[in-house]
Amino acid sequence: MSGVLPCQTIEAMLAAGQIAADVAPLEGQVQPASLDLRLGAKAWRLRASFLPGEGRRVEDRLDGLAMHQIDLTPGAVLEKGCVYLVPLVERLALPEGTSAVANAKSSTGRLDLLTRTIIDGGAEFDRIPAGYHGPLYAEICPRSFSVLVRPGMRLNQIRFRAGEARLTDDELAALHAKTPLVDGTPHIDEGLGFSVDLGGALAGWRAKPHSGVIDLDRIGHYPPGEFWEPVKAERGGVILDPGAFYILVSREAVTIPPTHAAEMAPYLAMVGEFRVHYAGFFDPGFGHSEAGGAGSRGVLEVRCHEAPFVLEHGQIVGRLVYERMAAPPARLYGREIASNYQGQGLRLAKHFAEG
């Protein structure tokens, strides 16, 4: 059956060697509809981001692009504004008919830590064609904060698909009629549109330009005020400054049924000079009553481009693309799988103290 492959199929792929690693998988590494990818033990500081291109290996491109190699074993700081390449622990031997797409994990995106997956012969970031055999690499560019990383850390994740999984708008409308996906009238246009909530006393957070290093192993540790400044709406809107990074939240509470998965995508470039950074795989069970969610807001990672832009309360800023699962997962997000973000509202990454 076509669709997004569930956790039990991913575990079978690990057992069959279609996903391989020299280090055994960790507990919790297999998510309901994805697999967390682990950093290897070394990194290269690069002159610039790159894609290898058809017929070329990633490592063959390093002679002209790598500045120096870094040992991550004792822990190493990846500096803000620099580009790094890290071999991942996992490698693939995908069967024909099974493709994959990678994405940053939620906490990675909320730190404005641009993390993309590249492969040998790749002409696109984060896209792995059916039948690919070879290694995986993470290209990492910290954009707001320098971060301390170690081998085994999980900054990105991969989702596997067999055949066509995406719902058409008609199928999405039928799914909403059966299981409401948002708490209100859905805006369906090449996915489920969602808008920004700027109506609260705290509209969001803006990253401070000069902050300390964040150790990615420290959970609930850092005072938000050392890294973020609060954002308040004025006259129902917020003026986004060029180059600044914001954490905002969707107005809608979103539900992902156990039979489906979703991915956050940009809405339209024409709606304004900003981009909602999409770190976003949404697993089956996110915001769903069966998994203790009862609707969860989508956290938006927003960066403004060349000109200041007024973002207004209720403005549509992105969409969720829903996909059918090939089979219901044996574990749901927020139920069997522990979650930092089930039932969330406006929330920073898990590394920051709450309250």
> For the segment 271-313, what is each residue's pLDDT rounded down to a tens digit?
555 666 655 788 898 876 554 446 678 888 888 877 888 999 9
Backbone angles phi and psi of 178, in degrees to 5? -85, -45
Specify the amino acid at residue 75. G
**Cβ neighbourhood burial of 180 (10 Å; 0-12, 13-18, 19+):** middle
Once rounded to an integer, what is the mean pLDDT over residues 178-196?
Answer: 89
Pairing of strands 147-149, 98-104: unpaired
Q: Let me know: does 153 contact 40? Beta carbons within 8 Å.
A: no
- The alpha carbon of 85 is separated from its chain's Cα centroid by a whole number of angstroms, namely 18
Rg of the chain in Å (alpha carbons): 20
What is the reported pLDDT for 292?
Answer: 45
Phi, psi of 162 (to 5 degrees): -115, 115
Rounded to two decimals, what is the model's pTM? 0.92
Please give the pLDDT value at position 291.
43
| Residue 206 contacts residue 238 (beta carbons within 8 Å) | no
Give yes or no for residue 335 having a pLDDT over 80.
no
What does the pLDDT read at residue 341? 47
Question: Can you give the pLDDT at residue 304?
Answer: 83
Whether 10 and 37 have beta carbons less than 8 Å apart is answered as no
For residue range 101-138, what is the model confidence (pLDDT) as tens digits?
A: 999 998 899 999 999 999 999 999 999 999 999 999 99
**Calpha distance 18→24 (Å, rounded):** 14
Give 11-53 pLDDT, tens digit per residue: 999 999 999 999 999 988 999 999 999 999 999 999 999 999 9
pLDDT digits (tens, 9 = 90+) for 73-103: 999 999 999 999 999 999 999 999 999 999 9
- Condensed to tens digits (0 to 9), the pLDDT of residues 210-254 reads 999 999 999 999 999 999 999 999 988 999 999 899 999 989 888
CA dihedral 80, 82, 87, 88 (to 10 degrees): 30
Each residue of 335-344: b (16+ CB within 10 Å) or e?
bebebebbbb
Do β-strands 214-215 and 147-149 pair in parallel, antiparallel, or remain unpaired? parallel
CB 178 within 8 A of CB 307: no
- For residues 81 and 26, give the distance between their C-alpha atoms in angstroms, rounded to a whole number: 31
Domains of the chain from N-terminus onward? 3-162 (2.70.40.10), 169-324 (2.70.40.10)
Cα torsion 177, 179, 185, 188: sign: negative
Going by the DSSP 8-state scheme, the letter that residue 227 receives in this structure is T
> Are 20 and 93 a contacting pair, CB within 8 Å?
yes
Q: What is the pLDDT of residue 332?
A: 84
34 or 355, which is more confident? 34
pLDDT of 354: 83
Query: How far apart, in whole angstroms, are the C-alpha atoms of residue 3 and residue 282?
Result: 15
Burial 299-329 (b: 16+ CB within 10 A, else e): bbbbbbeeeebebebebbbbbbbbbbbbeeb
Contact by Cβ (8 Å): 206, 246: yes
pLDDT at 270: 47
* pLDDT band with cut points at 50, 70 and 90 for residue 325: very high
Write down the pLDDT at residue 293: 47
